[in-house]
Structure 1
Amino acid sequence: MNIDVLLWGVVLLPALAALAWIDIRTLRLPDPLTLPLIGAGLVQSWYFTGNVWNALIGAAAGYLFFLAIEKGYKALRGQDGLGRGDAKLLAAGGAWCGWIGLPWIVLIASSSGLVFAGALTLLGRRPAGMMPFGPFLALGIAVVWLGQLRLGWI
């Protein structure tokens, strides 16, 4: 394994694991973890590509996409569907994976979340109330980032 990927992975992967765990326990994705992850993603993008624009566009697009979903859902249903922490975590995903990785992150996160909710329902343990989305976003970010760097995906 390339040592550069390993060192950056030591930054990203434990942070994603911590965020997933915190979201499971508290339904919160705290700014002291999500915001530095955005900054680290921008630095990582510059390190690997010498260009930060792809990461900046990815961070902005990820945040604005989930912010629009959050606001739209609230306007239609009168209740929260996504938290602002989810938007910040997707912004971090955009910073780490670039704008081209965003659809893949969202696809993996949404699919894994649906499979998980479906499995709970089949087992008779239907989710009551809100279900954290952060763990599924973290999974999507990790898979896409590793896939881009190690396997040449996207």
Structure 2
Amino acid sequence: MTDAAPAAVVLAVLGAIAGSFLATIAVRWPQERSVLRGRSACDGCGRTLRARDLVPLVSWGAARGRCRACGARIDLRHPAMEAGCAAIGAASALAAPDIVGVAGAVFGWLLLTLAVMDARDFWLPDELTAALALAGAAAAMVAPPDVAARAIGGVGGFALLWLVAAGYRAWRGVDGMGGGDPKLFGAIGLWLGWRMLPAALLVAGMVGLGWIAWRRVRGQAVARDEALPLGTLMAIAAYPAWLVMILQVA
């Protein structure tokens, strides 16, 4: 743990920085706003942000969550993703204080971005899912599981949810699952391998059922056909599954 502490600090800082950029993607991309062009600006008044406004978490806290110029609330996805990516970076380094931990951090950061976008906009961009898949294939060179397990996990994960979606469509005559969900599960399979996929899917289902139960306890109505962001649920389950897998082989 002592040896892992410096790596955890470094990956936490890098995670906060990555989270700042990834939050911009999560906020702007669904609105069809440019992510790469132009300087960072307030989403409310368009004021160009200065360096002091761009320090992850610190700037948000110093400004009390509001734009210094117009007073508009800063979208909570910004500090939440910065904090989340920092925590993922630290956890990955503590599990594996080497290149394996870096790979795991990238896995977690991309998953968090996809989870936030699916929860808010029910959208899993193919570009991000493809990046997750490619990174998973590349990670086979430095981290477990082996290439064969990843390949089976990728193909099997996609095929499983695609067949479920096709079966539901044939039975009910409507789509019961977004087209991005099988792709995401296949990408997750390229990271976890086939052995961890059943557990990840089970945990995702349990998280979904827990969310529904929580809403019912609070007195909120839940319709039988209400859509749940399956991509978010799978992302929530996948990163802890990766941590467990790495700790088991450490």
Cα displacement (A) at 1:70: 0.4
Structure 2 CA distance for aligned equivalents of residues 67 and 44 of structure 1:
25
Deviates more, 1:77-86 or 1:144-153: 144-153
Deviates more, 1:120-129 or 1:65-74: 120-129
Cα displacement (A) at 1:115: 0.8
Q: Please tell me the residue identity of whatever aligns with 2:166.
A: K
| SS of the residue 1:46 aligns to | coil
Aligned to 2:162: 67
Q: Please tell me the residue identity of whatever aligns with 2:230.
A: F
Aligned to 2:148: 53
Deviates more, 1:60-69 or 1:44-53: 44-53
TM-score (norm 2): 0.58
Cα displacement (A) at 1:54: 1.1
- Are 2:245 and 1:144 equivalent residues in the alignment? no
TM-score (norm 1): 0.91
Structure 1 CA distance for aligned equivalents of residues 98 and 144 of structure 2:
16
Cα displacement (A) at 1:83: 1.2
Structure 2 CA distance for aligned equivalents of residues 133 and 151 of structure 1:
27
| SS of the residue 2:143 aligns to | helix
Aligned to 1:104: 199
| SS of the residue 1:79 aligns to | coil
Q: Please tell me the residue identity of whatever aligns with 1:133.
A: L
Q: Please tell me the residue identity of whatever aligns with 1:4.
A: I
Structure 1 CA distance for aligned equivalents of residues 221 and 137 of structure 2:
39
Structure 1 CA distance for aligned equivalents of residues 221 and 234 of structure 2:
21
| Matched residue count | 153
| SS of the residue 2:244 aligns to | helix
Aligned to 1:43: 138
Cα displacement (A) at 1:49: 4.3
Aligned to 1:132: 229
Structure 1 CA distance for aligned equivalents of residues 213 and 113 of structure 2:
25
Q: Please tell me the residue identity of whatever aligns with 2:155.
A: A
Structure with the higher fraction of residues in helix conformation: 1
Which 4+ stretches in 1 moved above 3 angstroms? none
8 Å Cα contact 1:28-1:85 kept in structure 2: yes
8 Å Cα contact 2:145-2:193 kept in structure 1: no
Using a 3 Å threshold, how does the CA distance of structure 1 residues 47 and 70 change in structure 2: closer, same or farther? same
Structure 2 CA distance for aligned equivalents of residues 115 and 131 of structure 1:
12
Using a 3 Å threshold, how does the CA distance of structure 1 residues 50 and 89 change in structure 2: closer, same or farther? closer
- Between Structure 1 and Structure 2, whose CA radius of gyration is higher? 2
Q: Please tell me the residue identity of whatever aligns with 1:76.
A: W
Structure 1: segments with no counterpart, 5+ residues: none
| SS of the residue 1:47 aligns to | coil
| SS of the residue 2:118 aligns to | helix
Identity, % of aligned positions: 33
- Are 2:107 and 1:12 equivalent residues in the alignment? yes
